[in-house]
Structures are given as C-alpha cells and as structure tokens.
Structure 1
Amino acid sequence: MKLSTEQDTEISAARAEIRQTSRPTVAALEAVLHHVIPVLDHGFIRVVDYMGDDSSVVQAARVSYGRGTRRISEDRTLIRYLMSHWHSTPFEMAEIKLHVKLPIFVARQWIRHRMASVNEYSARYSILDREFYLPAYENMAAQSTTNRQGRGVVLGPDEAAQVLEILRTDAERNYDHYVWMLNESADGSRPDDERAGLARELARMNLTLNSYTQWYWKSDLHNLFGFLRLRADPHAQYEIRAYADEILKLTEAWVPLSYEAFRDYRMEAASLSKQALAVIRKIVSGNNVSLEESGMTKREWDALNKLIHEK
C-alpha cells in the first residue's frame, strides 16, 4: 500500500485537527477516522467523513427531536422493525464518505451499484502510479464449471506462477509504453525534449485493468446495505469482497444496532417464494412434500433443500 506525499500530508493534518461539534458522533468510528486500512496488495480504505448514527435512523422514523429519554432497547426494537418490514428512508438519513484505492477492474464492478456520489482520480489530469494488483497464489483458480461468474479449483503452483508472471510482465510492459507515450514523468520532467508526447487521456487506454485507481465514494446507509448484501456475500468475487468485508467492519462500528438488524434480516436471512413458504408450512405440520407437489422448479427445490438442511 502506497500513499502519495500529498495524501500522507493531508491525512496527517486531518488526524491532528480536533473539532468541537453538536452533531451525533460515534466514538468507535472516530477512532478510525482518516486511518488507512490496507486492502489487497496496494489498495486501501479510509473513512473521510460521516453523518448520523443509529439515533438518526430512529429520529427519522419517529420524526422526533434529539435523543430524548428513550432506552437503547427501544431504539433497537424500532430499527429491527424497520429492517424487517423493508422500510428504507430512515436508513437514508445516515451517510458515510470513504476514500478508496482499488484496481480498475474492481472499480468497474463497484460502480454498477448506482447509488452513491463518486469522484474518481482522473488519468486525463494526472499520471497513474506504477502499481498493479497481483493475486495471491490461493486466489488463483480456474473457471468454475458450474458458475459462469465464479472460480473453481485453485491452480497448481507451476501454472499459478506462470500466470502471475504473465500478469506482472504485461502490466509492467504496458506501463512502460504508457510512460513512453506520455513522454512525461509524475514530477513533470520530460525524458525526451524533442517529443511532444501523447495526451494523457489517450495514453491511459494502454494500461491494464489491474492498475490502481482511487475515488471518494459517499453513500447513505440504506444503499450501503444494498452494496454490502451483494458484495460481502461469499459468492461475490474475492477482490471486491475484500473491500466489502472491511466496510462491513466499519459499518458495525458506526451503526451497531442497524448493522445487527441488517445482519439478521438480510445477510444471514433467506427470502422465500410463495411456493417455498407453502412447502415449509407443510413440513412443519408433519407432512411430506415431493418436488412434483411443490409447484417449484428442480433448481428452486434443490436450493430450498440446501437452505433447510445446511448447518
């Protein structure tokens, strides 16, 4: 993980600055505010700012003022009710802003969640660093034979080493060509004064997708939960899940009551179809149900049985 000199100075200044405020703050999140959390080989996440906490969700739901004399247990009960009944707007009253450094191919997955304010590092304006994501050996796997979007068996050490070498050399070669086309270094110097160099907005297209980019990403809590439900899931691609898992920890520190409800009603819960619910009711009543009687497809039937019987 590498920070630029400007970023390091900015983060140090932000940590050193203490401000008084009358707005809700969360001690657990204040403790990690501006701290860099490493992700993957060169990436990171850091909390830049946040607004609101669990009480903001409760306040919005009740349209009340301040924290009053309510007990935590009452707030917890209300938050769980809101989550279980799919109320969304109260959770939109809390927001968080993150600074993220991530591989470009992860960013392209991430941006599909069209629910946040995003400002990305501009390779039209600046020169990208010579940093590339290279997977660890245990994350080098063949294409799954059952899932078009997933990975299967981990590659053997010889093949994995060969693939890593290809990824490394291709990224290094393309970056060398990128710099040559620019005829410019990050400090503004020009190796060849006789050459104008290609525009940055054109030269960048030669970079590989494992090059790192950065952005500021601001989301409300409701939409953050939508992102985490999909990307912190075991079926998500490892690289984006690595970021989602860290954000999940930050969310738990920030809004513990809302996080608990999200975990219980979304992350570790299951959504059932009308037919699946009817099957479960019959099973609970002591009746046997066959696939033919269920009104479900074979795929739905297998998924329900896996859900019922897995530990």
Structure 2
Amino acid sequence: MSDGTNAQDEIAELRARSAPTRRATVPAMEERLYTPHKVLDHGFVRVIDYMGDDAAIVQAARVSYGAGTKHVSNDAGLINYLMRHWHSTPFEMCEIKLHVKLPVFVARQWIRHRTANVNEYSARYSILDREFYIPAPEQLAAQSTVNNQGRGAVLEGEEAARVLEMLKGDATRSYDHYEAMLSQEGQQGLARELARMNLPANIYTQWYWKIDLHNLFHFLRLRADKHAQYEIRVYAETICEIAKDWVPLAYAAFEDYRLNSVQFSGKAVEVLRRMLAGETVTQETSGMSKGEWREFEGVIHNGS
C-alpha cells in the first residue's frame, strides 16, 4: 500500500504513456497526471483522470440556455455569471478522479460529502501499512474555549512532549497487536476483517475519489476555509491548486464568489442598511441572537 519503489515505477510507466485523443485536454493537468503531491507526513493527492475544461462549462451553458447567453461577450464573463447566480449543471460537465492517501479520521470527515464516487483500500483483503499521522508540534493545540469544534492555544514544553509520546506509543502498540493477531507462518490467527478493528484512527488509508466540478467546489468552499480543521484543510488547499490548473476561469470565479465571499441573512442586510444610513445598531436592537451578532461583527470588522 505504501508509495514505495513499486509505486514510483508504476507512476513513471503511466506518465511515459501517450495516446492521440480528440477530447479536451489541459496541458497543466497533463503534467500533473499520476504525480503525487505530498500532504501531511505520509499523505498525498494525485490526479488519475479528468474530463472537461473551462470550455466544457461554457459549451454546456450555451446548449442549455441557447440564445439567452449571446449577450455575454466572453467565456470568463459567462462563467462568472453562472457562478454568481448559483447555476450548477454547467459545472457538473467536468469531472476529476483523484487518488488520495489520508489518515482514517480525516477520511471519516471527508466521506460526509456524499456527492462523490469512492473506492477505498480494503483492510478486509489486505494488510494496512505501519504508517500513522503524527501532528507537527505547531499543530498540537488545546481545545478552544469559545468553539466546541476548534483549537485554542498551542501546547508547549512538557505537555506537548507528553501528548506526542502518547500518540506515538499508542499507535505503535495498536499496530504491534494488529500484526500479532493476524495469521502468520502457518498459524491460524485472526481474520483481517476483525484484526483491523484494533487499529487507531490516525493510521493511513487510501481511496480513489471521483467528483464533478460543482460538488468539488462545494467541498472546497467548506474544507479550504480557514476555519476548517487543519488536517483536512491542507488536502483541500492542495486540490485547490490542482483545480486552478484544470479550470482557471471557473476557479477564479469560485474564489471570488464562493471561497472569499460571505453570505448575509436578511436580518444582517437590514442591519447593514441601517448602519450605512448612520444609525448605531447593537445586538439588542439588531434582532439577531448573540451568536449571529458575533459572527456578523466578525465579518464586518475582521473579515472572518
């Protein structure tokens, strides 16, 4: 399962192949095909295949809407219009298939996005490698005191050393027991599908993940956001760089209208109108809950 010599040889062989085609290709994506992009300590993302490009989005929109798009003077303008007005089907004309190696606890968070086709490495048939995600010291943080889903201050000194030692020790012992339970050298041992239950959530798994561009953008909007958990965010940021090469016009529109934008409720829009008119508005006079007001202030004052 590890990305060792055999995997590197396979990648080199795949990259050496070429074939004539009439389908749309993107030179930057052709360069990315089969190349692993390192994420975390043992993880990676690599492009296995893709379909479509910016032109496919435009072509699909013009088939759908006919003469209604003739006033759009260029492809970028049309793509911006589609993104701005939350059209989805033209972006579904593009698809990408990725090979991802990731810790199991990240995979469990990732799989909540149920709009992709997934095929995961099976520990029922094969033995998982001795590879675990161990956070870098700067990622060892305490629980946030204001956000139940977030991190607070970074652990330091003896506390950080104690936590790291437990993470490494527990992962190693769990894997030692996993190996000991499996059948070896003629001994009967425990079935792989049962022995795997003892493995820690920071062990690495792999999968093929195929998704259309509309749903990929939804995934990236949530997981590349600065408030997302670090361990899944770094994967999303790597995929953002890939998407930027694949569909540069669509990605620029996504960045402008989704990733770097904010959405206001009807109450928030009314409060903004009152503020622009010179009125002093407080949480008590806004009609918002304390949580809504805190988020609203975070956007207008801090941009977060």
TM-score class, shorter-chain normalisation, is over 0.9
1:159-208 CA deviation, whole Å, 9 max, x = no partner?
11111111111111111111111133xxxxx2xx3x21111000111111
Give yes or no for the alignment of 1:277 onto 2:275: no
In the alignment, the residues of structure 2 paired with residue 309 and residue 145 of structure 1 have an alpha-carbon distance, to the nearest angstrom, of 21
In the alignment, the residues of structure 1 paired with residue 195 and residue 4 of structure 2 have an alpha-carbon distance, to the nearest angstrom, of 22
Give yes or no for the alignment of 1:131 onto 2:123: no
Q: How many residues align?
A: 297
1:72-94 CA deviation, whole Å, 9 max, x = no partner?
96111111111111111111000
1:243-264 CA deviation, whole Å, 9 max, x = no partner?
0110011011111111111111
- Corresponding residue for residue 215 of structure 1: 207
In the alignment, the residues of structure 2 paired with residue 291 and residue 204 of structure 1 have an alpha-carbon distance, to the nearest angstrom, of 52
Give yes or no for the alignment of 1:246 onto 2:238: yes
In the alignment, the residues of structure 2 paired with residue 309 and residue 4 of structure 1 have an alpha-carbon distance, to the nearest angstrom, of 49
- Report the secondary structure of 1:282's partner residue: helix
* Identical pairs, percent: 62
Are the equivalent residues in 2 in contact too, given 1:137–1:157 (CA < 8 A)?
A: no
- Corresponding residue for residue 231 of structure 1: 223
- Once the two structures are TM-superposed, the CA of residue 235 in structure 1 deviates from its matched residue by 0.9
- Once the two structures are TM-superposed, the CA of residue 11 in structure 1 deviates from its matched residue by 1.2
- Once the two structures are TM-superposed, the CA of residue 6 in structure 1 deviates from its matched residue by 4.0
Are the equivalent residues in 1 in contact too, given 2:2–2:129 (CA < 8 A)?
A: no
- Once the two structures are TM-superposed, the CA of residue 157 in structure 1 deviates from its matched residue by 2.4
Runs of at least 4 residues off by over 6 Å? none
Q: Counterparts of 1:78-227 in structure 2 under 5 Å?
A: 78-184=78-184, 190=185, 193=186, 195-227=187-219
The two structures have a TM-score, normalised by structure 2, of 0.93
2:165 maps to amino acid:
E
In the alignment, the residues of structure 2 paired with residue 171 and residue 73 of structure 1 have an alpha-carbon distance, to the nearest angstrom, of 58
In the alignment, the residues of structure 2 paired with residue 285 and residue 216 of structure 1 have an alpha-carbon distance, to the nearest angstrom, of 53
Are the equivalent residues in 2 in contact too, given 1:97–1:219 (CA < 8 A)?
A: yes
1:105 maps to amino acid:
F
- Corresponding residue for residue 265 of structure 1: 257
- Corresponding residue for residue 67 of structure 2: none
- Report the secondary structure of 1:146's partner residue: coil
In the alignment, the residues of structure 2 paired with residue 198 and residue 10 of structure 1 have an alpha-carbon distance, to the nearest angstrom, of 32
The two structures have a TM-score, normalised by structure 1, of 0.91
Are the equivalent residues in 2 in contact too, given 1:131–1:211 (CA < 8 A)?
A: yes
- Once the two structures are TM-superposed, the CA of residue 29 in structure 1 deviates from its matched residue by 1.4
- Corresponding residue for residue 187 of structure 1: none
Of 276-285 and 227-236, more deviation after overlay is shown by 276-285
- Report the secondary structure of 2:15's partner residue: helix
